Amino acid sequence: MTATEKNVLSPVQVGPYSLPNRLVMAPLTRNRAEAGNVPGKMNVTYYTQRAGAGLIITEASQIAPEGLGYPQTPGIYSSEQVEGWRLVTEAVHSHGGRIFIQLWHVGRISHPDLQPEGALPVAPSAIAPEGEASTYSGPKPYVTPRALEIDEIPGIVELYRSAAQNAIAAGFDGVEIHSANGYLLDQFLQDNANHRQDAYGGSIENRSRLLLEVVEAVTSVWGADRVGVRLSPGGTFNGMNDSNPKALFTYVVNALNRFGLAYLHLVEPRAYEGVAEEKAKLNTAYFRSIFQGTIVSAGGYNRELADAAIARGDADLIAFGRWYISNPDLAERFALNVPLNPYDRSTFYGGDEKGYIDYPTLQLQTAS
């Protein structure tokens, strides 16, 4: 690699921020928030350990109680949650890091056991996903959600706006709008989950309307250069599919160009099993020719693949998930070209310190 070639350790500008490297800590649900879905001391330690990433994107954080889909995931709607997150951001900043929060509403990927007063989850249409919800009393089959009335949709947009304001109060450097992986905004986008016949259903333009209204609201709070959007055009998670995914996501990405976002965060199709050939083509390289700003790419990357994607110009930054779970000092390990800690899948979701904040850094390994 020549001195002029870019790689994951090259500095990069994202919005107003000069980042020391192109490593992004991917948003990773870990189910370790405290009572009230409040970030606690363990979460502070976890994110601080990983402050060497060019950018941290937090685990998905629900914008309202109705947005909850999994036990012990943090929110960003209560004063207690804001204060919990403030402890995280202050610690990350004290170690030189930058951190965005991912704003989340799960839509139908929930269960009455997780909803206020046992209500039905909401969705664009009353279509139940396949599979089981994660509840505090174990897995339970998904229920048929309640279709949002059209006069409720402005309230959803306002929940995102309020969460964006709370993120400022919590000291974040920016926010990422989660419109991927089969959650509410993705459910509106894709026509196997959206059978609406009003202004938010039917045509691609109508199905994209809610996402674009949310982006408008969030950027009005933050300024577009501190807002990212995550999409999964090749995704199948949570039963998502569309009759014409290429046309849909080409339209969406083109529409996002007008905002001047901090970045577009794309999940590679290879991150999913059973991806159809048409969806497999909806990769970062395809969208590079459409999106006019910074692109973050995620999904199945190792160091070699990441460096190659950046050198080709397909992506500007690379998000690592599993390797950031097991290697808090991933940037340092890449810089020194030393082996990575293996990850333990059995400790990904829920539990205590084990598999969360006890992975060794190089300094600890050298000291021992």
Please count the residues of the chain: 368
Coil/strand/helix, residue 258: helix
Q: First CA to last CA across the chain, in angstroms?
A: 34
User: Does residue 22 contact residue 318 with C-beta atoms inside 8 Å?
Assistant: yes
Let me know: does 282 contact 291? Beta carbons within 8 Å. Answer: no
Per the DSSP assignment, residues forming a β-bridge with 317 are 296
* Residue partners of 209: CB distance under 8 A and separation at least 6: 188, 199, 200
Nearest by Cα to 239 from 315, 183, 176: 183
47 is catalytic: no
By the 8 A CB rule, do 218 and 148 touch? no
**Cβ atoms < 10 Å from Cβ of 95:** 12
User: Which amino acid belongs to residue 358?
Assistant: D
**DSSP structure class, residue 24:** E
**Of 70, 160, 183, 263, catalytic:** 183
Query: Hunting for tokens 């990069």 — which residue is that?
Result: 12
Nearest to 8 by CA among 357, 337, 269, 262: 337
Q: Name the token pair of 187.
A: 């459910």
For residue 106, give Cα distances in angstroms to 67, 97, 150, 180, 217: 5, 28, 18, 10, 19
Assign 3-state DSSP to the chain and report helix, strand, coil percentages, each to 5: 40, 15, 45
Which residue, chain included where needed, has tokens 């055009």? 233
Locate tokens 């909803």: which residue?
115
Quickly tell me which residue has 């909401």 as its tokens: 122
Tell me the catalytic residues. 183
